[in-house]
């Protein structure tokens, strides 16, 4: 049973209720003052509280999808070394429903494929959910190469949240129907590809080469399996929180990989904490180059399109976002979405995503 399955949640509810009832029923029998009854009372209270805390944790995880599996929760990385048959770089692991009109018919609803990606250059292997829009399966688009948006969660965050909570495929379907967006392939991922470590999309010295994985291997793998463009003008990246930092940094550092980036409540500098460890291995120059404010002031601007979002109230990055906008230099181009009030949460990002996708689509080429 999966971590986010309804069966696990129901089992947690039944356990919590059963232990509560058992505690009420047995309490009078455990009222005597001896070591056995004292241990019994302690055991019942401890078991009941653990079951309640577990239930609360499962409810919170189902609401916000911090972790998508038991492996992610426990920090266990799945072995995906042999990604595809015959040395293929992409292996399709399963099909997910997009929850769109047309149901199981790909030419009407599109399709979400769960895939394993093999990072030949970075030596990182990771899973992704690839959304193929309905047009991908329609005969009039048979010779078309589609633009691609890499869609990233924050840390911690689970890939499933991108289509179960933030509704990226559903939003695209609506925008394409209104002719506000071109059909685009989404590669939905978590930036945490070396769990449990938060690598902030950095090539860590003597550690995970996360930036190489996203800027080279993901593009190479997807292009080997799907009908997509291979130039930077065909590729964009959008993300929230940590994923937003990555979505700005990768076009700025690798404009030949991504031409467009969108940061929803993104940071402008990688944190250094227990989750990240020594990201830069003591290399101060590497640390400065990954500080986006420092890059703007001290290095030539890349010819890329960037969109940043924040809120006047409720967001901690408001002042830094205004500063980032002011510091953007030509040939770089900057746009922004600034709400009167919002927060670092799904509700705010759902308000921003339609406009962000419409803007990004206007800058990607088929």
Structural domain contains residue 205: yes
What domain range includes position 130? Answer: 81-361
Same domain, 177 and 52: no
Structural domain contains residue 21: yes
How many structural domains is the chain composed of? 2
Q: Are 324 and 263 in contact (CB under 8 A)?
A: no
Same domain, 47 and 115: no
Q: CA 125 to CA 79: how far, in whole Å?
A: 8
Structural domain contains residue 76: no
Q: Are 222 and 187 in contact (CB under 8 A)?
A: yes
Residue 194 carries which DSSP code? B
Same domain, 60 and 98: no
Which of 35, 64, 93 is a domain's end point?
64
Structural domain contains residue 71: no
Q: CA 327 to CA 316: how far, in whole Å?
A: 19
Q: In what order do the strands lie in the sheet with 260-264?
A: 90-96, 111-118, 125-132, 185-189, 148-152, 235-240, 260-264, 305-313, 333-341
Tens of pLDDT along the chain (366 residues) come to 666 667 777 887 888 788 888 888 878 877 777 877 878 788 878 888 888 877 787 777 666 566 666 666 665 555 555 555 556 899 999 998 777 877 778 999 999 999 999 999 999 999 999 999 999 999 999 999 999 999 999 998 889 999 999 999 999 999 999 999 999 999 999 999 999 999 999 999 999 999 999 999 999 999 999 999 999 999 999 999 999 999 999 999 999 999 999 999 999 999 999 999 999 999 999 999 999 999 999 999 999 999 999 999 999 999 999 999 999 999 999 999 999 999 999 999 999 999 999 999 999 998
Q: Which of 116, 350, 157, 117 is nearest to 246 (CA)?
A: 157
Half-sphere exposure for 48 (CA within 13 Å, toward CB):
16
Same domain, 227 and 136: yes
Same domain, 59 and 89: no
Same domain, 117 and 35: no
Q: CA 219 to CA 16: how far, in whole Å?
A: 46
Q: What is the pTM of this model?
A: 0.83
């Amino acid at each position: 049973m999966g971590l986010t399955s309804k069966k696990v949640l129901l089992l947690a509810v039944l356990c919590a209720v059963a232990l509560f009832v058992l505690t009420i029923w047995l309490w009078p029998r455990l009222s005597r003052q001896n070591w056995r009854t004292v241990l019994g009372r302690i055991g019942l209270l401890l078991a009941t509280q653990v079951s309640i805390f577990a239930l609360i944790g499962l409810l919170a995880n189902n609401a916000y999808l911090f972790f998508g599996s038991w492996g992610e929760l426990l920090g266990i990385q799945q072995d995906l070394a042999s990604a595809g048959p015959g040395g293929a770089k992409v292996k399709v692991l399963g099909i997910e429903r997009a929850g769109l009109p047309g149901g199981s018919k790909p030419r009407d609803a599109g399709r979400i494929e769960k895939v394993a990606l093999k990072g030949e250059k970075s030596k990182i292997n990771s899973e992704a959910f690839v959304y193929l829009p309905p047009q991908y399966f329609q005969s009039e688009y048979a010779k078309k190469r589609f633009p691609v948006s890499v869609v990233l969660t924050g840390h911690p965050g689970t890939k499933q949240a991108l289509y179960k909570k933030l509704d990226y495929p559903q939003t695209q379907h609506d925008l394409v129907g209104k002719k506000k967006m071109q059909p685009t392939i989404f590669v939905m991922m978590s930036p945490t590809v070396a769990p449990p470590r938060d690598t902030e999309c950095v090539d860590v010295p003597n550690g995970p080469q996360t930036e190489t994985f996203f800027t080279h291997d993901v593009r190479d793998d997807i292009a080997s399996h799907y009908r997509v463009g291979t130039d930077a003008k065909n590729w964009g990246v959008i993300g929230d929180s940590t994923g937003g930092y990555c979505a700005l940094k990768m076009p700025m550092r690798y404009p030949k990989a991504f031409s467009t980036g969108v940061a929803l409540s993104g940071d402008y500098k990688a944190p250094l904490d227990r989750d990240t460890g020594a990201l830069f291995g003591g290399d101060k120059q590497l640390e400065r180059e990954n500080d986006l404010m420092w890059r703007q002031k001290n290095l030539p601007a890349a010819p890329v399109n960037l969109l940043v979002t924040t809120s006047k109230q409720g967001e901690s990055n408001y002042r830094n976002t205004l500063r980032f906008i002011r510091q953007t230099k030509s040939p770089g181009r900057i746009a922004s979405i600034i709400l009167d009030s919002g927060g670092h949460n799904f509700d705010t990002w759902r308000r921003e995503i339609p406009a962000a996708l419409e803007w990004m689509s206007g800058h990607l080429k088929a």
